[in-house]
Structure 1
Amino acid sequence: MIKQKGFTLIELVVVIVILGILAVTAAPKFMNLQNDARNASLQGLKGAIQGAAGIVYGKAAIQGLESSDTAQDVDGIKTIFGYPTASSAGIALAVKGLESGSTEWGPISGAAGTGGDAEGDVISYTLLNQASNATASKCSVTYKAATSSSVPTVTVNDCE
């Protein structure tokens, strides 16, 4: 009598069913990795914007321009109340990667907040590969310029 080695059909089916159940429960956990990575990038940009705004404010304070309510030039960066304005001549020049022609980040065009050099103006940035489906309220970082009563605010609108 020859003894054969191997798995029976029932054993193989049971293993396949178990693997299927594991895949169905684990797959959703790994499917959202792209959005998590995008959201982490947005958080990084928020930190860069906040840091750059603080450095520019320090330079403006040294020059005595921290209380000016009109756009001033601090080392080539337009400021209002000492902080960068919400424009391509302000915050975009203060943060490397936001300037015109960047290969990573871009302003959201056509959004309600497209920037300006006045107090309280708003500009939103997103990843260039998200520009087609991003809005100022989704998958972006929004910078609101300083006003006479508040410092600039930076908010992250997570990707979904």
Structure 2
Amino acid sequence: MKRQQGFTLIELVVVIIILGILAVTAAPKFINLQSDARVSTLEGFKASVQGANTLVYSKAAIAGVDKNTTATDVTINAAGDTVSTIFGYMDDTETNFPTALEVSMETLGAAPATGNVTTTGGEDWAMFSDNGTVSFWQNGAPDSCVLIYTPATATSTPTYSAIPDASKC
């Protein structure tokens, strides 16, 4: 009686075919993970800005400057850090967001051209303030994957753009 040593060629081919079929059916589910992660990160960042703005407004109300129509500095922590507010909420001053959110952020000199937004110093976020709005991008994200913040006005609280879907990120 002869003992069998290992697998036959037929068995190996069948296993390779089964693995190929599994790979073809499962691959599409994993292709878009990076875009989904960018959307989730942008949603988290939006929530952070909203939370920081709530705290800034609370500090402004305590200081009695929540009705001011001109830029007013509000101290936000014991270290003496200040943010510039209008109607009690953060205005479009570029230094406000890195200070209030405590994140590494590069201020861009111009809106990014088509393509991915890359910071020069490896910061986590890039921002651009223009015409009363502030745009935020995650480092390495496409320029279409953006959150836009519009400061408060006499008739409205700050507004935030809708988070783009995964096809834009």
TM-score, scaled relative to structure 2: 0.75
Residue 106 (1) aligns with residue 113 (2): no
SS in 1 for 2:85: strand
Q: Which amino acid aligns with 1:14?
A: V
Change (3 A) 1:94 1:104: same
How many angstroms apart in 2 are the aligned matches of 1:36 and 1:43? 11
Structure 1 residue aligned with 2:145: 139
| 2:83 alignment partner, one of 77, 88, 100 | 77
Structure 2 residue aligned with 1:111: none
Structure 1 residue aligned with 2:64: 64
Structure 2 residue aligned with 1:148: 154
Work out the number of aligned pairs and report it.
Answer: 146
The percentage of aligned residue pairs carrying the same residue is 45
- 5 Å-filtered alignment, 1:1-160, equals 1-75=1-75, 76-97=82-103, 99-100=105-106, 103-108=123-128, 114-115=129-130, 121-130=132-141, 133-134=142-143, 138-155=144-161, 156-158=163-165, 159-160=168-169
Q: C-alpha root-mean-square deviation of aligned residues, in Å?
A: 2.2
Gaps (5+ residues) in structure 2?
76-81, 107-120
How many angstroms apart in 1 are the aligned matches of 2:151 and 2:23? 47
TM-score, scaled relative to structure 1: 0.78
CA contact (8 A) 1:85 1:91 kept: no
Deviations 1:109-141 (A, max 9, x none): xxxxx346xxxx2111111223xx31xxx2222
